[in-house]
Structure 1
Amino acid sequence: MLDFLFAALASLLAGFIDAVAGGGGLVLLPALFSAFPGAAPATLMGTNKGASVWGTTWAAGQYLRRVQLDWRTLAPAAALSLIGSLLGAWLLTLTSPDGLRKALPWVLAGVLLYTLARKDLGRAHAPRFEGRREQLAMAGIAGVVGFYDGFFGPGTGSFFVFLFVRVLGYDFLHASAAAKLMNLASNVAAISLFAAKGHVWWLLAGVMAVTNVAGSLAGTRLALKHGAGFVRGVFVLVVTALILKTAWSAYGG
């Protein structure tokens, strides 16, 4: 019961972080590995997805009701995020992500430095593309990051947010809203694979889903209330924590 309580509280915090800027897995996955050290990694990853998808679904719904985005652009991109995630998960069964694990801290450091250097980045919503060009640009991002999510995963939400800001010209609030839908699609693909192979503890996932939605509700409300500046600040904190976590996993663990 103590392990369940610990996992539930971690899921609450993860839901809050993920709803604002992505990166909830930074909290929840290490907590699960700590609470259940003897479990198969695939089972813990599947259980994590089985819980976090509900918080992501809630956040996506809240954002999309309050933040105006074009479904003609979102829908094809979400489909490519799902397909990319399936392909990434399939490739993971054939190869090792060790090289990517060592490169990830450096990529994240570049994202952080660029964000800090550009003080105005993501503060104003000024889309660079329209119509078909915007559809193609978002779909390309979704396919690549969705593939990454299926193959490896840490920081997926943060990568979505950063690329939507940098490439598409969105502010952080609109980018976070769009990222939730992309993340939802890639999570559905991952859960399908994990569940098909029996790698989900449904009881634990159900308990964590409740607290994950509660955290997501709090995070979404704060983001919508305080806007792009607040999301940018949380994004910087999450990416900094991701750099430290992934660097320790790659080089210090």
Structure 2
Amino acid sequence: MKCYSPVLADLQHQMWVLTFDGRLHTTPLSPRIDSVLDVGTGTGTWAETIAHAFPTAKVIATDLILPPRKDGTPPNLHYTQHNADDLEWTLFRDSQFDFIHTRMMTSGIRDWPAFRANCFRHLKPGGNLEIIDVSHPLRSADERYDCKENSALINFVHVAGKSWRNDGFDYHIAKKQIAGLREVGFEDVEETVYRWPIGSWSEEEREKKLGRLSLSNTEKFLTLRGPHILTNKGFMSKGAADKVLDAAKDDFFKTNERKYYYVMKVHTARKPAQP
């Protein structure tokens, strides 16, 4: 149940590029890399941009539903339908990729140990992995509202997490990536934490810009994805879901007072150069 919407995907792409000061990734990459895998490509915006940036590299972008190929799509970008949650990635060779990238896949992967093992298997020795995602739950910079009991918006995120868990997804996976990456054999495992305010309450200029985008992202998420998440597989009735969502939307409009924000995490890791 990947919470996919083209509108949200492209908006989140803008937010990540802003977070990374205009870059597409945090991992230092050699200009001579020749193979990149983008897992869960969504609209393909990241994959298309990285293909332009590395024109001699073969970029493979995968998802369950592939975006249409646009005019001007670089010839080194190849879209491939693939389920990243498969136990084995039989479409790819062992040690095929220099760089594997995935973003916002908490609700797209059920078997994270298998996912990490597949990344390790299909990276070249010395190849790099970058996993980018939100670390749930939503937070408030004002401790009075930093709990589900005092915040209907944070309560919605907790309820959504229960629905995801009911469907086999790990709501807290971002907190477990460091240990999981080391366990499968990765080296140089690092975690970088960013804050995405919701609204313009932050005094830091980049966060203020992010906050305006995050405000739009959250409003669209509540409207476009919220009902489906809460009612998925009968987790809640429509009436019960509407009550949770209506309260969350009312609380959402108080964000500049209550200072809500997302904790965003980037995990980078390297496959050892020698076995």
Which one has the bigger helix percentage? 1
Pairwise same-fold verdict (TM > 0.5) = no
TM range (shorter): under 0.3
Which one has the bigger strand percentage? 2
Larger relative contact order, structure 1 or 2 (CA cutoff 8 Å, min sep 6): 1
